[in-house]
Chains A and B, each alone.
Chain A
């Protein structure tokens, strides 16, 4: 075996299989190996003991900052708040220019245009949730209009939700077709498909939904909306990263992973990076392929960064609120 064989090996000549029927999709997904819950949780517990110190901690913090989709998804969102968020995403710590900017700002469709106007042509992308986020309970027609709205307002990325009801009741073809249609509606925009792993409940479902979304054309698969009781968990993320890794190996197409909901601390963020590092590997350790959907996480990363530099803890007021 060559050294390349000892990593994740992605042959760019292979192709994503065409899915022509629901029965073909079902056969493909049900033929996948199951996930043992105890095993995957045990693996995460072990990875969580990794101790990331000194310079590796510094670079992990910077990497994590660059992977943040700085998010606000509240009914009370205002243009002012979005402006503040965009400014912060561009330059998270105005006093330190070495701090990288975030990956994106994530908002509802009606605020996309405003975010676009603030961010201009900067490196920070505008992401919009769409498809009747967060429940996904609308007709396909409405969902597609929602997407078209966001894209025409300037969204670079669209975060859609899958129809969990359809998935859980076995209407996989419907879920697949919806993603295909949304992908088409996205045009140039990148599509992130939210699985809402907390509602899929089992890891078997998480693995199958991940494959379904990737087969249907997702550019990213994302854990959660952040709006339900169970959001991103390390085991769900691990299963999704394994799926992205295996999908890349077998089809040559590389799909990103986004974890969202409940990630507030540097410690959590670093433990996700450890999972990426030891499961999918170096290729995914970039904002192009791994994201954190979060809001308060950014300030904790900045605080920890200063703490690393100063050797003492800093007060929270050092950084702006949302």
Chain B
């Protein structure tokens, strides 16, 4: 045919590195446990290291909580509950939370850098998403503290007491805010355990709590591994467990708290379907799909990891997606122009590698970005699998990484059936310019959050949480108070 092609390369104009300065962060060599308002040594004197996943450099050593330390923290929380916090009026609790929100805003740059150092996420995301939302959560729940009578759970709803809270490594400070803000507003005291690989921003938050003059013991922050978490789950002095993490661990926690009177809320895994109809706003939809799966390296429980695309536009969507993926800027998380940062840990990287290897073995077609990955650190190039079947492991299991599985459908009915064909029920996306169909689909999706013509949006006023094996209970909004009130 003598076809001659012109090719317009996207992102050809190269941006020089624009690294955020890390000088705003003053890292300590070693961190203790935050118990009863003070940093203390763990009883065992054991510490573990926390690394920068982008270059495997040592950031600091972190205290490993033993059972005795957890006991000390729970007792401190109980004492604070009995003697101070349960006697503090809602209006006063509100002012503490407002203070904390303001302090987070004041120190937002430092917190963003710290988060990116410890987690590996791009500074653009920690700066524009994690930290502002963390502050917003405290600000929102602050206002509830003296208005609990109007929250819809009857007059004078009582707090539960001591809340044990275990959070994951994907949004370290934001998850701490999601847990602490509603708990404190409702009048509980807390023992918070950050994830082993991302303790630093929670420990910075401890300093903020000190600056806010929050009474000692109202919040205790205990670092450590899964054993520390177990000790917290099983401690008799805890009235409530709130957990965010994998479905496997959530199941264990539900079993272990089965024989107690502990209240429980679980925010677990997902395998979100992003449903794309042929009348979707195509350019925004492509961006939404990209955002849905590659935001935060895909380390998002509500990630849109299954793309369900209407057959009539499947080829076009795939072509545009592959083109767009190739354009993502992968690399130094501290660079303000980085789109995709480092995988949080070696363990997570090997899980992603294992599942993607399955994808190829099971016959899916793999498209991986041609980006160059840094030599040191934990990295995974953004990847799309086409020709995926419902039965493939990559369509069923949560990969928790930058990997998208693409499936097709023909009718809205089929899209709904495929979207619901999972044990999870956390989040879904629907893309269409036809409002009536969008609502028809939304009504039938078994998911706690449904994004229409957008994806991965979060707001303190908006309840978030799952159905089925994605857990129970909601965080955010009026609904988020329910898990911390005896109602």
**Of the candidates B4, B336, B367, B433, which one forms a contact with A13 in the assembled complex, judged by CB atoms under 8 Å apart?**
B4
**B323 is an interface residue with CB less than 8 A from chain A:** yes
- Residues of A near B154 (CB, < 8 A) are none
A39 touches B16 (CB 8 A): no
A35 close to B281 (CB less than 8 A)? yes
> How far apart are the CA atoms of A35 and B433 in the complex, in Å?
9
Contacts of B322 in A (CB 8 A): 1, 5-6
Residues of A within 8 A of B3 (CB): 11-13
Q: List, in ascending order, chain A residues with CB within 8 A of B271's CB.
A: none
Interface residues as binary, B283-326 with A (CB distance below 8 Å gives 1, 0 otherwise): 11101100000000000000000000000000000010011001
- List B contacts of A40 (CB < 8 A): 283-284
B8 and A36: CB pair below 8 A? no
Q: Which residue of B lies closest to A57 (CB)?
A: B16
State A54–B15 Cα separation when bound (angstroms): 9
Q: Say whether B109 faces chain A, with CB atoms less than 8 Å apart.
A: no
Structural contact, A6 and B326, CB atoms closer than 8 A: yes
Q: How many residues of A contact B (CB 8 A)?
A: 47
Pick from A254, A278, A283: contact of B327, CB under 8 Å: A278
State in angstroms the CA–CA spacing of A281 and B324 once bound together.
12
State whether A49 and B326 are in contact (beta carbons under 8 Å apart), knowing that A38-B453, A43-B287, A278-B11 are contacts in the complex: no
Chain B residues contacting A49 (CB-CB under 8 Å) are 124, 128, 336
CB-based contact B10/A278 at 8 Å: yes
Indicate whether B6 reaches chain A with its CB closer than 8 angstroms: yes
A254 vs B453: C-alpha distance in the bound complex, in angstroms? 30
B387 adjacent to chain A (CB < 8 Å):
no
Q: Which residue of chain A has the shortest Cβ distance to B369 in the bound complex? A: A6
A99 at the interface (CB under 8 A from B): no
B332 CB → nearest A CB, Å: 12
B76 to chain A, nearest CB (A): 42
Task: Say yes or no: B283 contacts A35, CB within 8 Å.
Answer: yes
Query: Shortest beta-carbon distance, A255 to chain B, in Å?
Result: 12
How many residues of B are counted as interface, with CB atoms below 8 angstroms from the partner's CB atoms? 41
Q: Is A199 an interface residue (CB 8 A)?
A: no
Q: How far is the CB of A44 from chain B (nearest CB, A)?
A: 11
Q: B281 to A39, Cβ gap below 8 A?
A: yes
Cα distance A173–B287 when bound, in Å? 33
Is the Cβ of B8 less than 8 Å from the Cβ of A10? yes
Q: How far is the CA of A34 from the CA of B336 in the complex (A)?
A: 31
Given A39-B281, A273-B13, A245 contacting B8 (CB threshold 8 A): yes
Q: Do residues A281 and B287 form an inter-chain contact, with CB atoms below 8 A?
A: no
A285–B284 CB distance below 8 A: no
Contact B8–A284 (Cβ < 8 Å) = yes
A140 to B285, CA, bound (A): 40
Nearest chain-B residue to A285 (Cβ)? B13
A6, A54, A273, A284: which contacts B16 (Cβ < 8 A)?
A54
**In the complex, chain B residues whose CB is within 8 Å of the CB of A242:** 283
Cα distance, A245 to B323, chains bound together (Å): 13
How close is B63's CB to chain A, nearest CB, in angstroms?
36
- Cβ of B9 within 8 Å of any chain A Cβ, yes or no, is yes
CB neighbours (8 Å) of A53 from chain B are 15-18
> Beyond A6-B323, A50-B337, A245-B8, is A35–B284 a contact (Cβ under 8 Å)?
yes
- Contact A7-B13, Cβ < 8 Å, known A1-B322, A39-B284: no
Is the pair B281, A34 in contact by a Cβ cutoff of 8 Å? yes
A-B contacts, 18 listed (Cβ < 8 Å): A5-B323, A6-B323, A6-B370, A10-B5, A11-B5, A12-B3, A13-B4, A33-B279, A35-B284, A36-B281, A39-B281, A42-B287, A50-B15, A50-B337, A277-B12, A279-B10, A282-B12, A285-B13
